[in-house]
């Protein structure tokens, strides 16, 4: 690997760490970069997943203020991400490369739609509960379908991971009655769990390029702090718009690629 390639991969890791903390989809920067430098797809995928783990943790630390009071939610919903990440990592190792990616555009498209409609759906759901005299949904877990939906997002994240954050924000934005910035902090924790468990699996049984892991890891740690600084200052409408834009870019890349 030349010094220029090393610098480019490190910068890609920085950009990915920043984007992942704010929205998600940072893999859409690092993965194509690695492919452009001739890294085999599976090696690029597993090395990228492991390399982004420190950046995910950095983003969690940067958003720690918004995590105050969310420990019960992190523990319960985080378990869904843990299971999903393990399943997704195993699928990457045992299935053909195109088996799961065939449904990626549908998943990303659904996430974008949920983010766009989140305010309206949330208002409609709350009004329905009030009109029917039902108790509000669980303030910790949200709607009943949030836990299994987060598990499925974890499966996807463990397999590839691009736009995992978009999916998580779409799911939780509709299903959990909480401020968007606090959900963004929770998203960072869930993504970190998925990346960590899948990365641990890959480190044991997969072909990993540890130089790439180091370069992406260092860059993503710096990016995680940058993303937390920028993301916290964004009003909810701006953050939602950013999620939609990044999601549309991800969808375009998947469809064209």
Count how many Cα atoms sit within 13 Å of the Cα of residue 13 in the half-sphere of its side chain: 30
Q: What is the pLDDT of residues 175-225, one digit of tens each?
A: 887 888 888 899 999 999 999 999 999 999 888 999 999 999 999 999 988
What pLDDT is recorded for position 132? 47
pTM: 0.82
From residue 163, how far is each of 168, 169, 249 by CA, in Å? 9, 10, 10
Instruction: Compute the C-alpha angle 97/100/106, nearest 5°.
Output: 135
Alpha-carbon gap, residue 187 to 183, rounded angstroms: 6
Q: What is the pLDDT of residues 40-79, one digit of tens each?
A: 888 888 999 999 999 989 989 988 999 998 999 999 999 9
Mean pLDDT for the chain overall:
83
What pLDDT is recorded for position 95? 83
């Amino acid at each position: 690997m030349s010094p220029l390639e090393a610098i480019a991969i490190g910068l890609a890791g920085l950009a990915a760490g920043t984007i992942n903390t704010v929205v998600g989809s940072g893999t859409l920067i690092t993965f194509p970069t690695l492919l452009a430098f001739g890294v085999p797809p599976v090696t690029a995928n597993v090395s990228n997943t492991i390399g982004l783990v420190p950046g995910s943790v950095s983003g969690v630390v940067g958003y720690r203020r918004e995590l105050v009071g969310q420990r019960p939610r992190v523990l319960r919903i985080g378990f869904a991400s843990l299971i999903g990440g393990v399943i997704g990592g195993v699928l990457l190792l045992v299935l053909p490369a195109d088996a799961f990616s065939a449904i990626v555009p549908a998943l990303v498209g659904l996430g974008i739609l949920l983010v766009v409609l989140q305010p309206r759906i949330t208002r409609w759901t709350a009004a329905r509960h009030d009109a029917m005299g039902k108790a509000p949904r669980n303030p910790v877990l949200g709607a009943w379908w949030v836990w299994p939906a987060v598990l499925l997002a974890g499966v996807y994240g463990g397999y590839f991971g691009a736009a995992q954050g978009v999916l998580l924000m779409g799911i939780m934005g509709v299903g959990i009655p909480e401020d968007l910035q606090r959900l963004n902090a929770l998203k960072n924790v869930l993504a970190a769990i998925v990346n960590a468990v899948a990365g641990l699996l890959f480190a044991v049984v997969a072909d990993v390029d540890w130089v790439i892991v180091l370069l992406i890891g260092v860059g993503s740690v710096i990016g995680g702090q940058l993303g937390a600084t920028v993301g916290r200052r964004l009003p909810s409408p701006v953050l939602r718009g950013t999620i939609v834009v990044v999601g549309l870019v991800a969808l375009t890349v998947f469809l064209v690629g």
